Chains A and B, each alone.
Chain A
Amino acid sequence: MRRLINQQPGRAGALMLSALPFILVVAAYLYYSNARLAENPGDKLLPAPATIAATIHRFALEEDERSGEYLLWNDTRASLERLLTALAISALIGVTLGVAIGVLPYLRHALGPFVAAVSLIPPLAVLPILFIVVGLGEGAKITLIIIGVAPVIVRDLAMRTGELPGEQMIKAQTLGASTWHLVLRVVLPQMWPRLIDALRLTLGSAWLFLIAAEAIASTEGLGYRIFLVRRYLAMDVILPYVAWITVLAFSTDWLLRLLRAKAFAWAKAST
């Protein structure tokens, strides 16, 4: 008998093992949903698959009676717009500040501790300030995500820049590189894949801040919808929405990973 750490499942076995937890969760859901509905047909906690399917149909494929919009797509568009805008701005801030702090000692001393402090402010605690200062519009929600995400990216990229071997920096200088050259031809190209890693890691908290902001002050968006229908115990809406958010988050992550592998073949992916 080989040791457990040396035992590998085959191809089919691996696939089945990966699917198993999903199947178990679905099966458990079906079982309990069935049991509860048998006892009380009006139960709202674990709606039947048919109910959920009907709700999805209503939200995704039928116009809303009041607004005349397809609610699911409208919410998705609103949320993704906020999320992607915030991520793009955070990436821009992250690269510019992170690389600058990593490369320039003067800037590192001037801004390093400040960024470290700012990144420790709990973003949700700042949300009321944002609502007061920026108002309840899109600005506040996007700013919240940026406050939560950008400092993390700045710190990460500053650290990654600092980790580049000193030999590389010296070599580039002996090849006639100015500071600007170093940034442009040596540091930035090596930071792009790092930026993608940082974005992937902050994706989870970005969604968290997005949904929190939408829950508090919004009129559309995925987070807004779940918190709206919570009042009616509409699990048939909440469950598919949560699943949909998960799918969106997962595909964003997957796309970023794909981009990293395709565009930066020289950098072996760490995860």
Chain B
Amino acid sequence: MTQVTVKRLWKEFGAQVVLENINLHIGDHEFVTIVGASGCGKTTFLRMLLGVETPSRGEFLIDGSPLPSEPGPDRGIVFQRYSLFPHLTVIDNLLLGLELRGSPMLGRLFGRRRRRAMDRADQLLDAVGLQGAADKYPKALSGGMQQRLSIAQSVICEPKILLLDEPFGALDPGITSDMHTLILKLWNMNKMTVFMVTHDLQESFALGTRLVVFDKVRVDPQAPDAFGATITFNIPLKGRRTQNN
């Protein structure tokens, strides 16, 4: 069970107000899609959930306790780019999470434990359709394959929350529907809560169980930074979960 609660959250950079008075409650195993104009603080919101930005006021609660102020294994992330490790092969990229958590000193697994981790990595590799590419380096993969690997890399750690920052924004339109099927499959397999920032409204309706729209309600033409964005729509979308189970 994972409950995410946001209470009266503000984020300011100096005099610039980015987000104001955000209130949100997200239940277990939801797929939250976040849309809004560019520069309205969607990514800032995600980065606060991730723990790399701190709220100016208000609080983030996960299951009632405050969010840690640094990234951790309970919250996975997939960025639009650069989240793979270029010096590791596909299978090593996938194994990394298991190896780090299984070995505090060396960050590597050996023998029987490595073989067990390898079995899981192989399974997941099959699930994301990368079985043939296990020994390639990320730079030899297409953009879509890289994102599938990046998602698998996070999912293998079984995070309670998976954060997606425009993960399919840089991909060809033809690939995105495959990616949607994949992400819904993994979301159902792992029972995690997903927050996904996107600029594609159609995508947000197609994937989400809840659509959250960020927008500025007050605008002062003399001082464009004086007011921040807040949640203008919080729409439960019915049916997706049953449809995909």
Contacts and interface: CB of A to CB of B under 8 A. Distances in A.
Interface in B80-111: 81-83, 85-88, 96-97, 99-101, 104, 106-108
A186 B71 contact: no
A interface majority secondary structure:
helix
A256 to B, nearest CB: 18
A171 B52 CA distance: 11
A49 interface: no
A174 B101 CA distance: 11
B45 to A, nearest CB: 15
A175 B79 contact: no
Interface string A13-52: 0000000000000000000000000000000000000000
A120 B126 CA distance: 54
Interface stretch (A81-89, A122-130, A177-185, A226-234): A177-185
Contact of B96 (A167, A185, A268): A185
Interface string B35-78: 00000000000000010100000000000000000111101110
Nearest to A173: B71
Interface in A159-193: 165, 167-168, 170-178, 180-181, 184-186, 189-190
A167 B83 contact: yes
B180 interface: no
B193 interface: no
A267 interface: yes
Contact of A190 (B86, B101, B104, B137): B86
Contacts of A267: 86-87
Contacts of B87: 189-190, 264, 266-267
A57 to B, nearest CB: 49
Contact of A175 (B50, B108, B153): B153
B interface majority secondary structure:
loop
Contacts of B147: none
A174 B77 contact: yes
Contacts of B137: 265-266
B185 interface: no
Contacts of A175: 73, 76, 96-97, 100-101, 153-154, 157
Given A267-B86, A267-B87, A184 B107 contact: yes
B115 interface: no
A171 B157 contact: no
Nearest to B161: A174
A176 to B, nearest CB: 4
Contacts of B72: 173-174, 176
27 contacts: A165-B82, A167-B81, A167-B83, A168-B83, A168-B85, A170-B50, A170-B71, A170-B79, A170-B83, A171-B83, A171-B153, A172-B96, A174-B50, A174-B73, A174-B75, A174-B159, A175-B101, A176-B73, A176-B157, A177-B100, A185-B96, A185-B99, A185-B107, A189-B87, A264-B87, A267-B87, A268-B139
Interface of A: 165, 167-168, 170-178, 180-181, 184-186, 189-190, 264-268
Interface of B: 50, 52, 70-73, 75-77, 79, 81-83, 85-88, 96-97, 99-101, 104, 106-108, 137, 139, 150, 153-154, 157, 159
